[in-house]
Amino acid sequence: MKDGKKRGAPSTVGAWPRSSVCFYCTMVYGENGGGRPHPVTGRSLNKALVRRVIPWIHRRLVFTMDEAMWPITLEQFRELDQYLAEHLPRTHKDDAWETVAYFFKEMLRQRDEWQRLEKMEKDVVEPVRLCECASEAVRHCESWL
């Protein structure tokens, strides 16, 4: 803080590293009709993705069903997984990304399993409830006789 000046901005914006924010901004710009980035920019973005964004996601994986604890959303994972498969196949097969992919696929499998169990429980509980109501109605009618 020499000369009364404040230090530079922190290295992250929110929870994302700066490079990943720039990466997503450039991707959004391209998707919204801004055209393709310059080849040098594209290479530097891919480099930032491989060297900074993927390791950042890998370090912050939390094996929980609480989506608020995940480093990226499921939709972001799907887009990034597709991008890596199409444009960076070696990175797509890398151990760090395979761990991230396993995590999200396992969370999807767990979510589907929970939904299936909840549906089965609902299917079992509903007839039992109807049966209890019917037996209560029969008892009520018998009391009138």
The CA distance from 96 to 118, in Å, is: 33
> What is the predicted pLDDT for the residue at 128?
67
For 69-107, the pLDDT digits (tens) are 888 888 888 888 888 888 888 887 888 889 889 999 999
Cβ-based neighbours of 36, under 8 Å, separated by 6 or more: 30, 42
Residue 49's pLDDT is 81
Which residues lie closer than 8 Å to 15 by C-beta, 6 or more apart? 71
Residue 13's pLDDT is: 37
- Identify the pLDDT of residue 138: 63
pLDDT per residue, tens digit, the chain (145 aa), is 455 544 444 444 345 555 555 566 656 555 556 666 667 777 777 787 888 888 888 888 888 888 888 888 888 888 888 888 888 888 878 888 898 899 999 999 999 999 999 998 888 777 766 676 666 666 666 666 5
Task: Please state the pTM of the whole predicted model.
Answer: 0.58
Tokens of residue 56, six digits: 């950042």
- DSSP output for the chain: -GGGPPPPPPSEETTEEHHHHHHHHHHHHIIIII-PPPHHHHHHHHHHIIIIIHHHHHHT---SS-GGGSSS-HHHHHHHHHHHHHH-HHHHTSHHHHHHHHHHHHHHHHHHHHHHHHHHHHHHHHHHHHHHHHHHHHHHHHHH-
